[in-house]
Structure 1
Amino acid sequence: MPYLRTCVLLLAASGAAHAADLNVLSFGGANKAAQEIAYYQPFHRASGVGVYADDYNGHYYREIVAGRNTAPGGRWDVVEVSAPELARGCAEGRFEKLDWAAIAPREAFLTGATSECGAGIFTWSAVLAYNQKMLAKAPQGWADFWDTRRFAGKRAMNRSARYTLEAALLADGVPAAEIYPTLSTEAGVKRALRKLDALRPHIVWWESPAQPAQMLAHEQVSMALGFSGRITRAARDWPQLKVSWPGNINNVNYWAVPKGGNTALATSFIAFASQPENQATYSRYIDYGPTRKEAIAMLPAELAQRLPGSDANRQGALQLDSAFWAANGKSLEARFERWLSTGKD
């Protein structure tokens, strides 16, 4: 699917783009809207640097490495990437190693929110979301997501092996601690795909992270695998949208600097965006958690309880294994696409 291009161009006072302008690529929708308020506009005001911000669906290899690159001058200076694609891209030399001395002390971030090539932007979760007007009672986990007899309606799921295979195994009764050891075996992959076979007639596949909330709001589906902040942000307009937190799949998204970009300017932007007050501003506009410890303390208690990192929402959560997906993502995505097209595992 061609990705939606909803770019904003914040130019310096001259009104014309120039060589020093910063080209940023991030996930779109409510996430990008919050980034514009918390990061792009304040960075422009503070530095005078124009920020060209575009968005994609978050599949860095599928969309960007494979050839979709619409950045001015043919370069992205900063990109938002998922943890598995950060790990893979760093190992393959696609991303620069960050100058942490110029950004912030790594110990100021949550555990797992920094790496050689990535600075954590926010914590988030893939969750079970639902439209409460379409269901007689609230689902309590992935087993209920698969139960089409007690919970009527279509299901929206990500057209990707990642998150989908984990949800299938959780629905099949595999404990969170055993998900990745199970997926590391041929029998485990077959088990996940067989579980998906049972639900397949009821699935509507999505590719853009904005789609699950839209599908739920317009009653195209009764339940969806979606991203937590997108759902809770949409619930401000459609209060019937709810999140069931048991079995949520927790993750971190990162800023990374692709090879060939303006490394010095990218580093300045990442340092600015990583300041606690800017991260706290971001979280006030979308319910994703800060990665800077100081930023968490700046948030109202009511907001903090809606974030993936709250004590209640961490109960029963599965931490996405980035190393597993960096090592196995290519083969599992190919296998998943083959299953989609042929119906065979």
Structure 2
Amino acid sequence: MNGIGQTMQKVAMGCVIASCGLLGSAYAASEITVVSWGGSYTAAQKQAFYEPFTKTTGVTVRSQDYNGGLGEIRAQEQAGKVVWDVVVSDMYDVKRACDEGLIERIPLASLGAAPDGTPATKDFLAGTTSECGIGSITLGNVIAYNTTKIAKAPTSLKDFFDTKNFPGKRGLRKSPIVALEWALMADGVAPADVYATLSTPVGLDRAFRKLDTIKKDIVWWEAGAQPLQLLASGDVAMTSAYSGRLFVSQMQGSPYKAVWDGQVWSTDVWMIPKGAPHMKEALAYVKFVSEPARLAELATLTSNGVVRHSALPLIGKYPGTDVNVASHTPTYPDNLKTALQINHDFWNDRQDEIQHRFDRWLLQN
């Protein structure tokens, strides 16, 4: 039996308790529109979420891709014609949309309990839900390196900033988010103190000074596929990368490895636009895909992290392999020891200001 099959077997009773209420329910709509990022991620969602939901409820999921942001939701609401039912987004946009009244509030207590009866309010990881959004998966920003192109393997975030003992270029996403957090942690700031430090002028100066120490060696990237391309070509000795993409490449035989020290992680979140045309079905969908078994299956397929404590032990083996996926996910306990969860409230308040400074810093010699 493969990992996904084992996952489902382990929680058969939990699934019955959590989702059987959906069976036989009368739904007015035969179809809902669920919007996500597309590509292999949406393909995994179809397997873990969409198809089981349709099988359970009889409601078909019409999948649509988008590039993120709130522009389309605003446009639909301003036109008085909302056509999207459920949308996956990041916590940053969910908080903004909630503040603007663009999306519905989703009571966390309305979601199903864990298999052992733990209520959802206590089962979700801190910071993975909000007043208007329910976490779906977590994404980790980690250090990646090519074992065939580096003489000495890095083991810590400090090594990323140490070009004397670990020579070579460094890949970084062209954004102040993660770059500044990493700079402070590499400079000795504890993860718990990063945002308090970054909130002060002195702390922000400190972060940029630390980035200055490797600025001439940085190769900036913007698309998620680029870090692994940089490793393959040898253009960088190490790079920031998304842990899920890195893991899938490893399963395909790449010689890349991850360093989890100082990982910075965030959450993808489900939201329901205000005035969604099929509200009952949309809420049923969010409840269904928030079950621990569903979350574990998506993690098994992608190695993105789960947002509920009870889902972690249900993660199986990567399809077609004997590799247990759980230890390769951002929210695995060992990977959280020195991790930092992105503070979206901080970036909501300060992003424009800090982005402006970051852009000016990029232009300086």
User: TM-score normalised to the size of structure 1?
Assistant: 0.81
C-alpha distance in structure 2 between counterparts of 1:175 and 1:128, whole Å: 18
Residue in 2 that maps onto 1:328: 350
What's the offset of the Cα at 1:121? Answer: 0.7
* Range with bigger deviation, 144-153 or 274-283: 144-153
* Range with bigger deviation, 113-122 or 265-274: 265-274
Q: Which residue identity is paired with 2:135?
A: G
Structure 2 residue runs without a partner (length 5+): 1-28, 113-119, 318-323
Counterpart check, 1:278 vs 2:291 = no
1:80 to 67, 88, 95: 88
Q: What is the CA deviation profile of residues 246-274 of structure 1, one whole-angstrom value per residue up to 9, with x for unaligned ones?
A: 11113322111233433333322212211
C-alpha distance in structure 1 between counterparts of 2:244 and 2:354, whole Å: 26
C-alpha distance in structure 1 between counterparts of 2:235 and 2:47, whole Å: 31
**Structure 1 residues 36 and 216 mapped into 2: Cα distance closer, same or farther (>3 Å)?**
farther
**Structure 1 residues 201 and 259 mapped into 2: Cα distance closer, same or farther (>3 Å)?**
farther
What's the offset of the Cα at 1:178? Answer: 2.1
Whether the 8 Å CA contact 1:99–1:267 is kept in 2: the answer is: no
Whether the 8 Å CA contact 1:30–1:233 is kept in 2: the answer is: no
- Secondary structure, counterpart of 2:331 in structure 1: coil
**Structure 1 residues 84 and 149 mapped into 2: Cα distance closer, same or farther (>3 Å)?**
same
- Secondary structure, counterpart of 1:134 in structure 2: coil
What's the offset of the Cα at 1:135? Answer: 0.9
Counterpart check, 1:42 vs 2:57 = no
Counterpart check, 1:229 vs 2:244 = yes
What's the offset of the Cα at 1:75? Answer: 4.5
- Secondary structure, counterpart of 1:248 in structure 2: strand
Identity of aligned residues (%): 36
Q: Which residue identity is paired with 1:40?
A: Y
Q: Which residue identity is paired with 1:31?
A: Y
1:96 to 104, 111, 115: 104
What's the offset of the Cα at 1:101? Answer: 5.8
* Range with bigger deviation, 276-285 or 214-223: 214-223
Q: Which residue identity is paired with 2:332?
A: S
C-alpha distance in structure 2 between counterparts of 1:331 and 1:28, whole Å: 31
- Secondary structure, counterpart of 1:290 in structure 2: coil
Structure 1 residue runs without a partner (length 5+): 1-18
Q: Which residue identity is paired with 2:51?
A: Q
Q: Which residue identity is paired with 1:247?
A: G
Counterpart check, 1:32 vs 2:42 = yes
**Structure 1 residues 330 and 88 mapped into 2: Cα distance closer, same or farther (>3 Å)?**
farther
Matches within 5 A, 1:158-169: 158-169=173-184
Whether the 8 Å CA contact 1:158–1:164 is kept in 2: the answer is: yes
Whether the 8 Å CA contact 2:36–2:88 is kept in 1: the answer is: yes
Q: Which residue identity is paired with 1:203?
A: I
- Secondary structure, counterpart of 1:235 in structure 2: helix
C-alpha distance in structure 1 between counterparts of 2:83 and 2:213, whole Å: 44
C-alpha distance in structure 2 between counterparts of 1:200 and 1:165, whole Å: 12
What's the offset of the Cα at 1:28? Answer: 4.5
C-alpha distance in structure 2 between counterparts of 1:305 and 1:89, whole Å: 33
Q: Which residue identity is paired with 2:179?
A: T
2:204 to 189, 198, 204: 189
- Secondary structure, counterpart of 1:284 in structure 2: helix
Counterpart check, 1:299 vs 2:321 = no
Structure 1 outlier segments of 4+, above 4 Å: 63-68, 99-102
Aligned residues: 319
What's the offset of the Cα at 1:211? Answer: 2.7
Whether the 8 Å CA contact 1:159–1:205 is kept in 2: the answer is: yes
Whether the 8 Å CA contact 2:300–2:316 is kept in 1: the answer is: no
Whether the 8 Å CA contact 1:160–1:333 is kept in 2: the answer is: yes
**Structure 1 residues 247 and 269 mapped into 2: Cα distance closer, same or farther (>3 Å)?**
same
Q: Which residue identity is paired with 1:154?
A: K
Whether the 8 Å CA contact 2:265–2:339 is kept in 1: the answer is: yes
C-alpha distance in structure 2 between counterparts of 1:147 and 1:240, whole Å: 22
What's the offset of the Cα at 1:160? Answer: 1.7
**Structure 1 residues 174 and 328 mapped into 2: Cα distance closer, same or farther (>3 Å)?**
same
User: TM-score normalised to the size of structure 2?
Assistant: 0.77
2:64 to 50, 53, 58: 53
What's the offset of the Cα at 1:229? Answer: 1.6
2:282 to 266, 283, 287: 266
* Range with bigger deviation, 99-108 or 152-161: 99-108
**Structure 1 residues 126 and 265 mapped into 2: Cα distance closer, same or farther (>3 Å)?**
same
